[in-house]
Amino acid sequence: MTYQRYCLALDLVDDPEKIQTYIVQHRKIWPEVKANILACGIIDMQIWHIGTRLFMIMEVDETYSPARAAAIAANEPRIEEWETLMWQFQVPTPWTPAGEKWVAMEKIFDLKLQ
């Protein structure tokens, strides 16, 4: 089976206490959030952090699409609650389109292609 990789960026509010709270929240996410992630076709997900910048790597199967993931999440009150909670810590990057959160990054280097 072939998986597709998505790499996305998001910023955090520039407040050390809020950043630490965000990190703690992600050390053990809610069970409903994990179930929702898996239901969307996401096989693996990691979030990396430096300063106020976050970098997410997602490995997805052939059933994943951002629209499908949004539709699944829209029917889950606990996911809406999680997203509302997370928004107090997050801010879009300067390159994020209005109304969006995580923004896809462009791959500019691949060692396998060198």
The strand ranges marked E within the chain are 4-12, 42-50, 53-60, 90-91, 103-104
Kindly tell me if the per-residue pLDDT of 2 is higher than 90: no
Q: In this predicted model, what pLDDT tens digit does every residue of 44-100 receive, in sequence order?
A: 999 999 999 999 999 999 999 999 999 999 989 999 999 999 999 999 999 999 988
Least confident of 18-22, 27-31, 49-53, 73-77: 73-77
User: Does residue 112 surpass a pLDDT of 80?
Assistant: yes
Instruction: Report the top-level CATH class of 4-113.
Output: alpha beta
Residue, of 20 and 73, whose pLDDT is higher: 20
Determine phi and psi for 57, rounding to 5 degrees: -115, 125
Q: Which two tokens stand for residue 76?
A: 């889950």
Q: Look up residue 7 and give its two tokens.
A: 């790499």
Distances (CA, A) of 91 to 5, 49, 71: 23, 14, 22
Question: For residue 113, what pLDDT is reported?
Answer: 95
User: What separation in angstroms does the CA of 77 have from each of 14, 30, 49, 68, 112?
Assistant: 28, 13, 27, 16, 42
